[in-house]
Amino acid sequence: MAATADETEEHTDASDAASAPRRRRPGRIAMAVSVFGELLITAGVLLGLFVVYSLWWTNVIADRKADKQADKVREHWAQGTDSGPGALDTKDGIGFLHVPAMRNGEVLVEKGTGTDVLNDGVAGYYTDPDKATLPMTGKKGNFTLAAHRDGHGAKFHNIDKLKDGDPIVFETKDDWYVYKVYSILPETSKYNVKVISQVPKESGKKKPGHYITLTTCTPVYTSEYRYVVWGELVRVEKVNSKRTPPAELRG
């Protein structure tokens, strides 16, 4: 009996299906490589987000906190209260650091150099292992400061721009203290506490004087070593009613 047209078509389709090459399923190795690749992409995205957070967003947060605290300090100064900022040792901040070469604006200075202080986008003065000598006391010694170089405000990011003779100005409620850079140590151990000694002999000084020391991490984006800049007081100017800054800050 002759086959019908439908039967012939079905037979042809079945033959074609049987003769068509079978698709190979991906092997275990190929699947593992694919999954590993996706994980690497995910890890890269997460790492990128972490870098953005560490180097940009923490700066935004810290700057906001520092600005609010700085406003409080200046409000206290305007009120003329003896117990507010401007006193020798307060929790609110003792003054503002101005370093034109670092192009970082005014930097509020507070007590301490722990992350609980520096992460708020300020500079802190040392209380350990060698306590800083605050310039307002009039005593000879070393006004030692630290700040972050990257993230959390990065107030000392451009410390490497400082050169011998550059001004460092510290502003208090009543006075402007003008220092000049005289020595720089681009790299030293983070355990080298001699750099913040009251007489910083590593800077070349052998006698007591009125010094300032800036310290931060180096190289950039690491905390392996410390970068150190030393300055010496050249004069003190009284703050006038308009708070006109010294000539070094008006250029």
Q: Is 148 a catalytic residue?
A: yes
How sure is the predictor about 28, in pLDDT bands with cuts at 50, 70 and 90?
A: confident
Residue spans of the domains in the chain: they are: 52-249
Report the alpha-carbon distance of residue 152 to residue 146 in Å, rounded: 13
Residues of the chain with pLDDT > 70: what percent?
Answer: 74
Superfamily of domain 52-249: Sortase (2.40.260.10)
Catalytic residue among 148, 152, 157, 210: 148
Report the alpha-carbon distance of residue 103 to residue 124 in Å, rounded: 18
Residue 23: what pLDDT? 56
Residue 45: what pLDDT? 55
Query: What stretches of the chain adopt beta strand conformation (E)?
Result: 95-98, 106-111, 123-125, 141-146, 167-171, 175-189, 210-218, 225-238
Residues recorded for the chain: 251
Residue 199: what pLDDT? 98
Average per-residue pLDDT in the chain? 85
Residue 188: what pLDDT? 98
**Phi, then psi, of 106 in degrees rounded to 5:** -90, 140
Residue 5: what pLDDT? 46
Q: Is the pLDDT of residue 98 over 90?
A: yes
Residue 30: what pLDDT? 66
Catalytic residue among 76, 98, 157, 217: 217
The DSSP bridge pattern shows strands 141-146 and 210-218 to be parallel
Q: Is the pLDDT of residue 34 over 90?
A: no
For the CA atoms of the chain, what is the radius of gyration? 32
For 66-76, how does the pLDDT look when each residue is reduced to its tens digit (9 = 90+)?
999 999 999 98
Q: What integer is the mean pLDDT of 110-137?
A: 95
Please indicate whether residue 53 or residue 234 has the higher confidence score (pLDDT): 234
Q: Is 157 a catalytic residue?
A: no
- pTM here is 0.79
**Phi, then psi, of 241 in degrees rounded to 5:** -65, -25
* Identity at 209, one-letter amino acid code: G
Residue 58: what pLDDT? 83
